[in-house]
Amino acid sequence: MPINYDASFIDTMPKNVAVQFLERVNKSGPKEAFRFPIGENWESVTWNQVGDRASALAAGLMALGIEPEQRVGIASTTRYEWILADLAVTLAGAATTTVYPTTNAGDTAYILGDSESRVVFAEDDGQIAKLVEHRNELPHLMKIVTFEGKTDGDWIISLDDLEKLGADYLAQNANAVVEHAEAIRADQLATLIYTSGTTGRPKGVRLLHRAWVFEGEAIASQKILGEDDLNFLWLPMAHSFGKVLLSAQMACGYATAIDGRIDKIIDNLAIVKPTFMGAAPRIFEKAYSRIVTMQAAEGGVKEKLFNKAFAVGLEVEKRKREGQSIPLGLKLQHGLFDKLVFSKVRDRFGGRVRFFISGSAALNREIAEWFNAAGILILEGYGMTENAAGAAVGHPDHFKIGSVGTPFPGTELKIAEDGEVLVRGPHVMEGYHNLPEQTAEALQDGWLHTGDIGELDADGFLRITDRKKDLFKTSGGKYIAPSAIESQFKAICPYVSQFLVVGAERNYCVALISLDPDQVTGWAEENGMAGKSYTEVVNSQGVKDMIAGYVDELNGRLNRWETIKKHVILDNDLSIESGELTPSLKVKRKVVEENNKSVIDSLYT
């Protein structure tokens, strides 16, 4: 199937996100827009219902005096109310400032202060407490609107209170929302997303209305998604990956089931039965590890059947990719294993998934091939907050495993002399908020300098090989691409959570390893250590020997200068709360290395 890379849609796309949303409401009014959990049940709302409520909330913001491009913060987990708040801000002509709910009080105050946010939607008492603690640092903040926290009738009001204000405002100004929407310029600020970053203070990325409209319409133009699709959304909405799926929903008209609880993802997939979902690679790594170790625990005939099925599935998919014919015997085996094994794997994800979209970091090729063998396609995408999340993506009928796909229609990609990926298009940020020097460094001659190292092949597929700042040189003068090594280990070892390669200016590479608590618990139960703590288990000789075996297997795949000479298993897994992971689950290398400086030094003693 030929893929549509025609960018003529740019000439006719809606001029702003508010108009794009209102057009979707007019087109799909009575159809389902969102569903979300209420206790043990799921509630569904139509586009008309969303439109009415978002308009009332937008009018409430106008009643509070919010003006175009003024910032309104949202500090909350991913939930339906987050969507409503964001739509209300958009319809009012203001700009959303996103705050991860896990952000500490100091950084929350910095983000809201730097953005000069006038109103903040705060999920609960925990988020409110951060604002109260730093109230003196937030002179611009005139009102808090809480989803489920306690109100004081003055500085802190409820979502219902805001909606009532809006209803009264609309009674006097019936056309206010539509008029505000139509007046928004394409080059008007829509969103201020503060990148959590792996180093330093967060930087506010200024994304304009045209950026989000372009993202949605570019995805729609490829005809990957339609009104019959159902998205399962758990991604943090403070991250651009989550936001771009909302933009695509406005353009494509599909419904979205929302629940931001990460521990409920697998359970929810079986209930919701989505046709697609976006996720970070860590989610796929955990699912892969859980399924593989469960089968290994079964042992006997079941394990042999499982392993044989995937050997056949991998061979069939390899032949398809290489354009080879599939012998009748192999085809018959594959059909049998599809019924006995692969269908059960697919059922764990709801049984209706057409594809997953992996973004935010590199997905290991072997894990992608394993899912593909089971009939679950994972399309990798590429982009960053600075270009509104999407610059390239694979297509269900046009993809290469190990690649992040081809550029969005209307997006230009090129590789600089030093291998850095450069991006140009309507979705590129206006700049960093209040940071002219960093803006000038990132935006040069109209191109966004991504900081990623990559390659474009003859067919236009992009492959990301590493982060420019993550590459390091050993004291022997050899360059090391750590993420490539780390990704390989995650495909080999089903018990690993994080694997961090260290070796800059040293004479050999070492690794810091953390193990997945769920997988470790399973191992402990099977090896006579049930009830032992995580620390006790990971420090046991049995676990040390097991992990050493996986490291040896990894070293057998590497060049001599890349091999891991020594490693240590950390007493705790890395976490967002410890500051060692970003909310999008990227490792903050410098933080981890600093926290474990003495451990690293001991590996070179």
> Does position 5 have pLDDT exceeding 70, yes or no?
no
Residue 473 clears pLDDT 60, i.e. is over it: yes
CA distance 394 to 379: 5
Mean of the pLDDT values across residues 535-543? 92
Would you say the CATH fold of 279-425+433-467 matches that of 8-271? yes
- The pLDDT value recorded for residue 475 is 77
pLDDT at 313: 94
- The per-residue pLDDT for 4 is 54
Contact 394, 380 (CB under 8 A): yes
CB atoms within 10 A of CB 74: 27
Taking residues 443-453, report their average pLDDT. Answer: 93
- Superfamily name and number for 472-604: ANL, C-terminal domain (3.30.300.30)
Averaged over 307-336, what is the pLDDT?
93
pLDDT at 361 exceeding the cut of 90 = no
Helical segments of 29-46, H only: none
548 contacts: CB under 8 Å, gap ≥ 6? 567
535 token code pair: 């620390």
Residue extents of the structural domains in the chain: 8-271, 279-425+433-467, 472-604
Confidence grade of residue 2 (pLDDT, cut at 50, 70, 90): very low
What band does 127 get if pLDDT is binned at 50, 70 and 90? Answer: very high
Q: Tens of pLDDT along 39-67?
A: 889 999 999 999 999 999 999 999 999 99
- The pLDDT assigned to 580 comes to 87
**Would you say the C-alpha torsion 171, 177, 179, 183 has a positive or negative sign?**
positive
pLDDT at residue number 37: 96
Counted residue by residue, the chain has a size of 605
Which range (201-215, 256-270, 379-393, 583-597) has the least confidence?
A: 583-597
Q: What is the dihedral of CA 546, 552, 556, 560, to 10 degrees?
A: 160
SS3 state at 188: coil
Mean pLDDT, to the nearest integer, of 420-425?
Answer: 95
Just give the CATH number of 8-271.
3.40.50.980
Q: What is the pLDDT averaged over residues 284-289?
A: 88
Report, in this order, helix, strand and coil percent for the chain, each rounded to 5. Answer: 45, 20, 35
Q: Which amino acid is at 362?
A: A
C-alpha R_g of the chain = 25
- Nearest residue to 21 via CA among 60, 61, 57, 48: 48
Residue 467 has pLDDT above 70, yes or no: yes
Residue 198, pLDDT score: 46
Lowest mean pLDDT among 52-56, 207-211, 251-255, 448-452: 448-452
Q: What DSSP string describes 323-385?
A: T----HHHHHHHHHHIIIIIHHHHHTTTS--SEEEE-SSPPPHHHHHHHHHTT--EEEEE--G
Lowest mean pLDDT among 250-254, 293-297, 370-374: 293-297
Are 132 and 108 a contacting pair, CB within 8 Å? no
Q: Compute the average pLDDT of residues 470-499.
A: 85
Q: Residue for token digits 């002509």?
A: 93
Domain 279-425+433-467 has CATH 3.40.50.12780: yes
**Residues 6+ away with beta carbon under 8 Å from 541:** none
Compute the Cα dihedral for 79, 81, 83, 89 and give only its sign.
negative
> Beta 355-358 vs 276-279: how paired, if at all?
parallel
pLDDT of residue 471: 77
C-alpha–C-alpha distance, residues 176 and 64, integer Å? 14
Q: What is the mean pLDDT of residues 324-346?
A: 94
The whole-number pLDDT of residue 200 equals: 61
Q: Once rounded to an integer, what is the mean pLDDT over residues 584-602?
A: 87
Chain Cα centroid distance, residue 88: 23
More confidently predicted of 578 and 121: 121
Pairing of strands 230-233, 255-258: parallel
Residue 280: pLDDT band (50, 70, 90) is confident
Nearest in space to 429 (alpha carbons), one of 421, 420, 438: 438
Cα separation, 373 vs 415, in Å, equals: 32
Task: Taking residues 538-561, report their average pLDDT.
Answer: 92
Cα separation, 481 vs 471, in Å, equals: 5
Residue 299: how many CB atoms within 10 A of its CB? 10
CB 233 within 8 A of CB 78: yes
If one compares 473 and 430, the residue with the highest pLDDT of the two is 430
Q: How confident is the model at residue 1 (pLDDT cuts 50, 70, 90)?
A: very low
Per-residue pLDDT of 167-222, as tens digits, reads 999 999 999 999 999 999 999 999 999 986 544 678 999 999 999 999 999 999 99
pLDDT single digits (tens) 74-112: 999 999 999 999 999 999 999 999 999 988 899 899 999
